[in-house]
Amino acid sequence: MLRERAEAFLKNAKSPLKEGEYDLAAFSIEQYCQLMLKYKLLIKTGTYPRTYSLVRLIRELAKLVRDDEKLLDT
């Protein structure tokens, strides 16, 4: 469910971007990033922190990724 919701936010960012509503597009992209990070953490650990901080989510995921893996490889 997280991944589908994330992809919906990414899809929804395209329309405001074309219309010059950059703040709304940025919001949707931020939501996409949060949900994808949480999805990756859920897959790797079975849980994820209840936070909205992209920095914290990236740091948590980076702790789990091997050197030869890409951080957000889909």
Beta strands, E only, 19-63: none
CA distance 52 to 37: 10
Residue 74 located in a structural domain: no
Residue 72 located in a structural domain: no
Q: Do residues 50 and 34 lie in contact, with contact meaning Cβ atoms separated by under 8 Å?
A: no
* DSSP 3-state percent helix, strand, coil across the chain (nearest 5): 70, 0, 30
Residue 13 located in a structural domain: yes
Tokens of 70: 């890409």
Residue 70 located in a structural domain: no
Residue 73 located in a structural domain: no
Residue 39 located in a structural domain: yes
Q: The whole model's pTM is what?
A: 0.84
pLDDT of residue 68: 62
pLDDT tens digits, residue range 9-19? 999 999 999 99
Number of domains in the chain: 1
pLDDT tens digits, residue range 17-73? 999 999 999 999 999 999 999 999 999 999 999 999 999 999 999 888 876 666 665
Domain hosting 10: range is 2-64
Distances (CA, A) of 64 to 13, 26, 50: 29, 27, 17
